Amino acid sequence: MAVNTYTSTQKFLHWALFALVLLLYALTYGDAFYSRGDPAVAFFWRLHISFGLLLAAFVAWRVVLRGMRGAPGLPAEMSAPEQAAAKIGHFILYALLIAIPVLGILLTWFRGDALSFFGLFTIPAPFAPDRTTARTIRELHSLCANGILIMAGIHALAALYHHFIRRDGVLTRMLPAGREG
Task: Note the pLDDT tens digit of each residue in 109-124.
Answer: 999 999 999 999 999 9
- Of residues 31 and 181, which shows the higher confidence score? 31
**What's the distance, CA 16 to chain centroid?**
9
Q: What is the mean pLDDT of residues 122-151?
A: 97
Strands of 111-160 (E only): list them. 115-116, 122-123
Residue 3, pLDDT above cutoff 70:
no
Task: Report the predicted TM-score, pTM, of the whole model to 2 decimal places.
Answer: 0.91
SS (H, E, C) 54-117: HHHHHHHHHHHHHHHHCCECCCCCCCHHHHHHHHHHHHHHHHHHHHHHHHHHHHHHHCCCCEEC
**pLDDT by residue (tens digit) across 59-96?**
999 999 999 988 888 888 889 999 999 999 999 999 99
Q: What is the mean pLDDT of residues 39-43?
A: 91
Residue 22, pLDDT above cutoff 80:
yes
- Per domain, the residue ranges of the chain are 8-71+79-171
Rounded CA separation 158/171 (Å)? 9
Q: What are the phi and psi torsion angles at 157 (to 5°)?
A: -60, -40
SS3 146: helix
Residue 45, pLDDT above cutoff 50:
yes
Residue 30: the pLDDT is 81
Rounded CA separation 157/162 (Å)? 9
Residue 157, pLDDT above cutoff 50:
yes
